[in-house]
Structure 1
Amino acid sequence: MRMHLTGAAAALLLFAGIGAVAAQDVVITPEQDTVIHEYVKKQPLASVKIPGVELNIGTALPDTVELHEVKVPDVKYRYVVIDNRTVLVDPGTRKIVKVYD
């Protein structure tokens, strides 16, 4: 019986951990994505080059990169244009959450 309870406790901890990771996922509704994409197209920025940085979701940008506000309700993200591609960035972690082509 003791082995059975230990397995159940381990499973519970595993599922709790998965829930914590899921809570950190980026959630942008399709409607927000459309509005954000239209906003950044209407507010063009000069493209910057950042040698050695790949434009992938989850890549952290250096502190030297200036992030610009997305003036869209209920959107906390910022954006910047790197190598002629617009990227949406979480300002707290500076990680890329979306890459627009």
Structure 2
Amino acid sequence: MTMRLSPAVAGLLLLAGVVAAAAQDVVIDPEQETVIKEYVKKQPLASVKIPGVELNVGSTLPDTVELHEVPNAKYRYVVVDNRTVVVDPGTRKIVKVIE
């Protein structure tokens, strides 16, 4: 017996999968966040301005923004508008904004 889905049901299932994938936020564990905060304090950077980019988790930084490495950390950082922004170097997406 073959099961067929109506286009509406198929669309809803597809949409549910997209929403579930988008809901998977990157979580930086407290230890990793502490390592990043301490490193940033020891290695201060000049704050930069990035016109047209909102500092929200999931926003993508342009290739022109230099990302700085934190030893033994998966993520990179940059200081934007005096806020430390933690970035996934592979996607250049913001994963955390530290006040």
Matches within 5 A, 1:56-75: 56-72=56-72, 75=73
1:2 Cα offset (Å): 7.2
- Normalized against structure 2, the TM-score is what? 0.74
Q: Give the paired residue count.
A: 91
Partner of 2:94: 96
SS state at 1:40 partner:
helix
Deviation larger for 27-36 or 42-51: 27-36
The runs of 5 or more residues in structure 2 that have no matched partner are none
Matches within 5 A, 1:1-101: 17=17, 21=21, 25-72=25-72, 75-101=73-99
Root-mean-square deviation (Å) = 2.8
Per-residue CA distance 1:43-101 (angstroms, 9 max, x = gap): 111111111111110000000000000113xx210000111111000001100001011
Poorly superposed stretches of 4+, deviation over 4 Å: none
Percent of aligned positions that are identical: 81
SS state at 2:62 partner:
coil
Q: In 1, Cα distance between the equivalents of 2:41 and 2:60?
A: 23
Q: Output the amino acid matched with 1:37.
A: K
Higher-helix-fraction structure = 1
Per-residue CA distance 1:6-61 (angstroms, 9 max, x = gap): 7xxx8xx88xx48x838x64232111111111111111111111111111100000
